[in-house]
Structures are given as C-alpha cells and as structure tokens.
Amino acid sequence: MSNEKTPGFNTLSIHAGARPDPATGARATPIYQTTSFVFEDVDHAASLFGLQAFGNIYTRIGNPTCAVLEERVAALEGGTAALAVASGHAAQLIVMHTLLEPGDEFVAAGQLYGGSINQFNHAFKKFGWNVVWADATDPSSFEKALSPETKAIFIESIANPGGIVTDIAAVSAIAKKAKVPLIVDNTLATPYLCRPIEHGADIVVHSLTKFLGGHGNSIGGLIVDGGSFDWSQDDRYPSLSAPCPSYQGMVLHETFGNFAFAIACRVLGLRDLGPALSPFNAFLILTGTETLSLRMQRHSDNAKAVAEHLSRHEKVEWVNYAGLPGDSSHGLAQRYTPKGAGAVFTFGVKGGYDAGVKLVSSLTMFSHLANIGDTRSLVIHPASTTHRQLTDEQKTAAGAGPEVVRLSVGIEDLDDIIADLDQALAQI
Amino acid sequence: MNHDRYGDDYISGILSGVRTIAIVGASPREVRPSFFVTKYLAEKGFKCFPVNPGHAGREIAGCATFARLSDIPEPVDMVDIFRASSAAGGIVDEALALTPLPKVIWMQLGVRNDEAAARAEAAGLKVVMDRCPKIEYGRLSGEIGWQGVNSRTIDARRPSLSGRGIQRLSLRTGRGGPSA
C-alpha cells in the first residue's frame, strides 16, 4: 500500500514494520536470536559503524526482531521512529541521558507511577539530573516549576495508580513556550486509547510489559520520537545539535532530521548504557500488539463495569476511575480517551490499611502482584507494596494512601470478575 | 504538482528510473550527510558524479568529482542538490542547460525552491524537494525499518535482497513491481 492513505489502527497493529522475511519468506516475524551480524567486508563494516548504511551490527544496538516492534509502535503512536529497550525504566533512563547534562532539571508530574518517582528522586540524582515536581491536575504548576536549567517536562497520559488523566495539550503549550520537549508515558492508555503526539507530545515512552505486550510474559520498554521538536533551535541539546565526539564529529540532528532523537537514543544511549531488549521478548510483545485494539476495548469495558459496581458497594468508600461520570478526570477522559479510560484504577475500602490487606488476601481469581496490563485481573495494595518506599505524604500525593486498592481489570468474563470482588469484600 | 507531500509511487518511480546522479555540494568529509548519500547511492548501483569545485579531479566516496554540472562526461538522469534553497535556483538553471536534459531535479531535506521547481517542471522534468534519496530508498526498500524508523508503508510482499552483498534490500518486491 502506498502512503496516499494512512492505514487504520487495526491494520497497522498487524502489519506495520513486518514484511515477510526477505531471505526465507517467513510470514511471522522471525526471532533473530543472535548477538551479532557478519559484515560483508571491511568497507561494509565501516559503513555500518559510521551510520552511513542501514543495517545490523550487534543486538545491543539493534536487532531485526526488535526493529519490527519499534516500527510497529512508532506507527501506532504516529511517530517518526522508535527504540525498544529492556524495560520502561530503561526507556526513561535513555531519554533523560540523551536530553540532560549534569546540573540540568526536568519537571515531572507528582502523581507518577511510584517506580518512576523513585527513579527520578534517587537514581537520576546520581547523574546530576534534578527533578522538580508539579501537579498533574494543574497545568499551571508546570509553568511555575520551570527554570533556565529545565530541559524537559514528563507526564503520564493516565497516571498510575491514581487514574488522573493529564491535560496533555495544556502542558504541551507550556513546554513549547519554554522550548523544551514534552515526554508522555503512555503505558496505561496505549495508542489505542490515546495518541499523545496528536496532542502535542514530542516524545512518548512505554512500558511494553503492560498492555502492548499484554500477556504478562515479557519485560520491555520503548521510546517513540514524535519528530517535530527542533533540537537545533539553540545549543541546549548538544547530544543532537553539536558535533558528536564518538562519531568523528557527526551532527545527529542535521544527519537524521526528524528521527534524530530516536537515532541518538540508540547510537549514544543504548550503545553506551546497554539495556537492550531480548529478541525473544520483542517477538512475544509483537504478538501482543496484533490484538491491542480488541484487548484494550474489552479491558476498558470490563473496568468501567467493575468501577460502576464498586461505586455502589457498601464496603467501598470511593472509586477513582476517569470513566465514571462525576470523577474529577471524567471531562479530560472524554477528550483524551473517548473509547475508554483504561483498565487500571483505584478504590478505597472502608477500614483503611487492614481492610486493604484483607481484601487482597481474600481474592481468589485476581492475582496479587505488582504488574498491570495482563489478560488476567490483577490486584495490589500499593501502600504495603509498590509505594512502600515513599513517605506518607508522597503516598497520598501519588494516590496510594492506606485504604487504596489498585485493580488492573483483565479480559475474563465480567460476571466472574465481579463475583470474586464481592466474595472478598464480604470477608472484610 | 503539490510539493508538500509525495506519493510512494512517485518517489519509487523516480528512484527506479534513474541510473546516473549528479550530487551538487557533495562533501569529501565522511561525517557529512552529502557524503553519506553519495556513498549509499553508489553502493546501490547508481553511477554518482559528485559536483564540488574545491574537490574537482579527486574522489568522493570512490566517485570522480567535477567542478560543475557541465563538466560531467555523460548524460545525468538526476541532479541532487545539497545547497541552500537560495542557491538551488542557479543549479536548476545549469541543469536545464544540459544536453540531454536530466529527468529529475531532487532537492535535499531542508532545501526547497518553488520557483526553480516550476521552471524545471515546465521543461518536463520531475521534481522532489525537502527529501533525502537515501532515506526514501531505505524507506521504500524496507532497510530503514532496521533502524526502527516508521516507513509509513505496509506491504505483505517479500522484500527483495539487492544481490549486492548482505543486509541490502532493493526496491523490487517479491511479486514483481518496480526494479532498481
């Protein structure tokens, strides 16, 4: 198909990036389980190492199976290119390593996934990258947090676990005014529910581990280059705009144009930091992407019905699900995620911390674990697990107070999901 | 024609139909985009003629280099312009003075001169602006996907190996289609 008309989302989910194998004709994407690729001769090797030819060298830098996944998700997000890495955390590390120098700052939403709060507060500090927190529900707080050292803004489209939908376009306007890129973690929404680049995001990151892979079997992460940020408008992003000392003075933005950020993440960040994705994991995640629309719609429909049921339950104090009318994020959800508000939400059980623990230990079909975005229904009590390292104030700010229970609603039959919750709530 | 957006068929028709390419503004420096493009196109089997007055008589990426378009000793099918948009007009006029006429004027990423394009089209030439032939060849052959780049194409036909070494694809497809 030519590019006269862009194929639809379902078609891209199946076909983007994946032509039959040129050597064998294999129709499914082969698992290129190899560390390295032979060179034709010394000149070919020089062309590949010098980035003058397209091709594969070593799986830490690129692999044909991983590349299909990269092109697939880039197409689904409407980006120019992508880079797959070992985990969502690795994606965030490589993005910031490409953008920031020691002493730089970035502004991030305070309601992020607890693991990201830890990574930003502690691990990134060791690189001299300083996070300044803002409030995802108040776009003007991002503007107030800016300083001359700010190099990026980081938000989640749907925050985990609080379920807040961020006003991406409003934060993007602030980022554009400050001439810094907006990075959006789109893990909970997936491009099926929300495409942040269409709302002004410059970079999208994913934990592929969640709904894109979707089956709870592989850890992976990914960076999408939105292709529209001008890295050369000033000298603040030298990894892209200045001659690169490890490539004989090549200027990456000038050379690779609107996909230079993804290339910089690969040939500098991934090459030097090393968190490469296994080709086998890439294959499993690719298989997941083919059914993304079907799964996400079912996840969202089930989650909405479960949220409605819980909101009427006598042992439930409150439900935070942006898909429910009356929720503080409902208006933004209708704008940014009109097909559904995703599968992950929190609710408060009456009885606080102890009731939360009792509920989790009484469920029989829900799996008690730290992941989200599996076909199976999952549950966790954040205060005693994922958010345990945070202070009480940080827990509450992140939507993970003592009574909070987080669900990742699966795609089982709705009646069975509700029956399991009802029997567990009856035991509190 | 509309130069804001080109169909894949238009671009692949051009890249499949030309054999000799003059690259105006090619640099001998190995890290410059113009060197990349010259080397890549030469490896794909195009006969390339770098044009660079300061380097005439020597080679760029293994290709003999000339001072000006009119010095090139054989007919040029396509003139690829690696110069500022304001300089592109003069180069197009030089190209339109060649006998026989080239078939295609190509201006690189960031280079666009609509008046010069109109003169070339009036003379019967095809024009591409603000694109890179290396990126377009990589995109339409499938090679660029190895770098995780969104090729904006889907195709259930097997890509063709170029026959020139390994990890090299061509514009041909497994069910026929254009050949390069």
Condensed to tens digits (0 to 9), the pLDDT of residues A367-415 reads: 999 999 999 999 999 888 877 877 888 888 777 889 999 999 999 999 9
How far does the CA of residue B126 sit from the closest CA of chain A (Å)?
A: 19
Closest CA to A163 of A375, A391, A408: A408
Beta carbons within 8 Å of A115's beta carbon, 6+ residues apart: A89, A386
Residue B179 has pLDDT above 50, yes or no: no
A168, A142 in Cβ contact below 8 A? no
Please, are residues B79 and B46 in contact by the beta-carbon 8 Å criterion?
no
Does the distance separating the beta carbons of B155 and A52 come in below 8 Å? Answer: no
Q: Which domains does chain B have, with CATH numbers?
A: 8-134 (3.40.50.720), 136-173 (no CATH)
CB neighbourhood size of A25 (10 A):
9
Taking the Cβ of residue B35 and every Cβ of chain A, the question of whether any pair is shorter than 8 Å is answered with yes
Q: Do A83 and B9 touch (CB under 8 A)?
A: no
Start-to-end CA distance of chain A, whole Å, equals: 58
The pLDDT score that the predictor gives to residue B178 is 42
Whole-prediction pTM:
0.95
Residue B15 · residue B137 · CB < 8 Å: yes
Q: Please say whether the beta carbons of A53 and B36 come within 8 A.
A: no
Locate tokens 């090459």: which residue? A271
On average, the pLDDT of chain B sits at 93
Is residue A320 scored above 70 in pLDDT? yes
How many other C-beta atoms can be found within 10 angstroms of the C-beta atom of residue B167? 21
- Give chain A's mean pLDDT: 95
Q: Tell me: pLDDT of A51 over 50.
A: yes
Best mutation target, B135, B162, B167, to test chain A (most A CBs within 10 A)? B167
Burial of A205 (0-12, 13-18, 19+ CB in 10 A): buried
Q: Which of B44, B16, B19, B18 is nearest to B178 (CA)?
A: B16
Phi/psi at A360 (5° precision): -60, -40
- Once rounded to an integer, what is the mean pLDDT over residues A60-76? 98
**Domains in chain A, ordered, with CATH?**
9-288 (3.40.640.10), 292-426 (3.90.1150.10)
- Structure tokens given for B173: 């497809």
* Three-class DSSP category at A399: coil
If you average pLDDT over residues A93-106, what whole number do you get? 98
Mutate to test the interface with B, among A2, A224, A246 (most CBs of B within 10 A): A2
pLDDT tens-digit readout, B39-81: 999 999 999 999 999 999 999 999 999 999 999 999 999 999 9
Name the residue of chain B whose CA is nearest to A223's CA. B148
> Measured between CB atoms, does B142 come within 8 Å of chain A?
yes
Whether chain B has a CB inside 8 Å of the CB on A67: the answer is: yes
